[in-house]
Structure 1
Amino acid sequence: MATYAIGDLQGCLDPLEALLEQIQFDPAADRLWFVGDLVNRGPQSLEALRFVRDLGERAITVLGNHDIHLLGCYFGTRVARGRDTLEPILTAEDGDELIDWLRRRPLLHHDPTLDWTLVHAGIHPAWDLETAQTAARETETAMRTTEPVAFFGEIFGNQSDHPDGNPTPIDRQRFAINVFTRMRYCQADGRLDFAEKRPPADADPALTPWFAMPERAMADQRIVFGHWSSLGPARARANTWDIDQGCLWGHQLTALRLEDEALFAIDCPGAQKPKGAK
């Protein structure tokens, strides 16, 4: 039995099927962990969402920022953007069922037996595991039980960018979503920076990747995440693995076998080009 963490799909199902063939995925014995962003920008958002949903208990997926964006579009609090490929989901006959399934996915998954934690973007450096789990559970419960137009009408925004100064539940929940699905860099005081997406060598030197922050509370615990395709080759960094290698942009889709940290990858044809690319 093996557990494979899979990088951001973003609507690229064909590369996933090729990767599963490469690793000889055995659905009777193996398990898959998806780092989120199952959908958007790629050509098979609907098919990818159905495929992962249909894996049932053989797969665990956490929510990514593109998944949250899809939920906002479905409930009418977000507007699809120019390069989005969400319309097939929004108009599918089983769209309501898929959205209900997606809305019930976690923001964080921890397996104490494997001693690994799965998130989309990261875990705030000030948070230990218990704090992160509490923030995730509160936000997941609100997402599933609050009137959805009210919840998704308030949850987006940059104003919740620091673990302190979130006086209301929705402020805390917005901050949790920003951490788990959007975070890359932190300022010295732990405040999130939402603008910088470049790799550390090119970034503002006043910013630090979340996983490299001094005295990070979970520095001794293993975390696998995605979201940051410009970070560089997949490798262990301070007990963390970033496995988003930009399949959407024509790079690679990766699988990390958690039991021994063996890495597998396939080249992807690329569904879109990053902004500014020729």
Structure 2
Amino acid sequence: MATYFIGDIQGCYQELRLLLEQVSFSPDKDELWVAGDMVARGPDSYHTLKYLMSLEDSVKAVLGNHDLHLLATYAGLKKAKDKDKLQALLSAPEIENIIEWLARQPLLRKLPNEQVYMSHAGLSPQWKIKNAIECADFATKKLSDKNRNYWLSIMYGETPNNWQDVNSKEDKFRYTINALTRMRYCYKDGSLDFSCKSSPENTPNHLSPWFCQTTKQLKKAHWVFGHWAALEGDVPVENIYALDTGCVWGGELTLLRWHDKQYFRQQAIKN
């Protein structure tokens, strides 16, 4: 059995299948851990989700910001954007089942029997790992219960961006969503910034990448994430793995085989 981690697929279905062919992926004996953003911007979000669902228990996904936006769009809280290329997915006859499957996916996963964690964006410097686990579980329950649409409706916003300012369940939900699916840079006190999306060599002096502030929390743990294509998979921290290499932007789709830390890549197909 092999465990594979994969970065942001974003509807790049052909590249996904070709990449899994490279490693002879078998759902009977292997697992595929998906670091969020399964949909949007790429050409075929519909078949991407259909395929991932067909893998049943061999796929272990977390939600990314684009996946959450799809839930909000389906709920009528946001308008579908042409650039997201979600028309075929939203008009699919089985869309309700797809949405329910998506809404059941957590925001954070841990590899059994190992200190290996996966989220879409990373670990807030203002959290210990136990805080991230508790908050992710809290938000996941809200997204999968009957009041999902209420929580989706209050999901958007950039405050509070400091964990010390969380004073309500709504604050906790929004901070958790932002930390686990949107975060890239943080201020020196660990509070979240949402404006800067550039690569670290162009970082303003008042900001630093989240992973440069989490060395104590992750001293004995590993963290796998996606979300940040500008990194091109390069993180100067030994136990942190960045897997978004911008396939949807013409880059590559990246797969990490965990037991030997070998990477496999599939170049984006020009359509």
Q: Shorter-chain TM-score category?
A: over 0.9
Letter in 1 for 2:11: G
Give the structure 1 partner of residue 266 of structure 2: 266
Cα distance change of structure 1 residues 118 and 97 upon mapping to structure 2, 3 Å threshold = same
Q: Distance in 2 between matches of 1:236 and 1:25?
A: 29
- For residues 1-278 of structure 1, what are the structure 2 equivalents within 5 Å? 1-213=1-213, 216-234=216-234, 237-270=237-270
Sequence identity (%): 37
Q: 1:208 to 1:236 in 2, by over 3 A?
A: closer
Letter in 2 for 1:165: D
Cα deviation, residue 220, structure 1? 2.8
CA distance in 2, matches of 1:178, 1:146: 22
**Equivalent residues of 1:35, 1:226 under 8 A apart:** yes
Separation (CA, whole Å) in 2 of partners of 1:183 and 1:141: 21
Shift of 1:191: 1.1
1:214 Cα deviation (Å)?
Answer: 6.0
Alignment TM-score, normalising by the size of structure 1? 0.93
SS state of the match for residue 83, structure 1? helix
Q: Which one is further off, 111-120 or 177-186?
A: 111-120
Report the more deviating stretch, 9-18 or 160-169.
Answer: 160-169
Are the counterparts in 1 of residues 124 and 214 from structure 2 also a CA contact under 8 Å? no
Question: Matched residue of 1:4: which SS?
Answer: strand
Deviates more, 1:217-226 or 1:56-65: 217-226
Superposed structure 1 runs of 4+ greater than 4 Å apart? none
CA distance in 2, matches of 1:114, 1:234: 23
Deviation string 1:140-185 (CA, Å, 9 cap, x unpaired) is 1111115232111111111121111111101101100001100000
Superimposed CA distance per residue, residues 16-37 of structure 1 (whole angstroms, 9 cap, x where no aligned partner): 1000111111222111100010
Q: How many residues are aligned here?
A: 271
The Cα shift of 1:127 comes to: 1.7
Change (3 A) 1:254 1:234: farther
Mean CA deviation greater in 250-259 or 125-134: 125-134
1:275 aligned partner: none
Q: Which runs of 5+ in 1 are unaligned?
A: 272-278
Q: What secondary structure does 2:40 align onto? A: coil
* Runs of at least 5 residues in structure 2 that lack an aligned partner in the other structure: none
CA contact (8 A) 1:2 1:259 kept: yes
Conserved? CA contact 1:36–1:226, under 8 Å: yes
Deviation sequence 1:168-211 (CA, Å, 0-9, x none): 10110110000110000000111111010000101212111000
Q: Once the 2 structures are TM-superposed, how far is the Cα of residue 67 of structure 1 from its aligned partner?
A: 0.1
2:232–2:244 contact (8 Å) kept in structure 1: no
- Whether the 8 Å contact between 1:104 and 1:140 is mirrored in structure 2 is yes
In structure 2, distance between residues paired with 1:202 and 1:238: 21
Deviations 1:43-100 (A, max 9, x none): 1011101111111001100000000000000111112234111222221100000000
Question: 1:230-260: per-residue Cα shift (whole Å, max 9, x none)?
Answer: 0134466241100100000111111111112
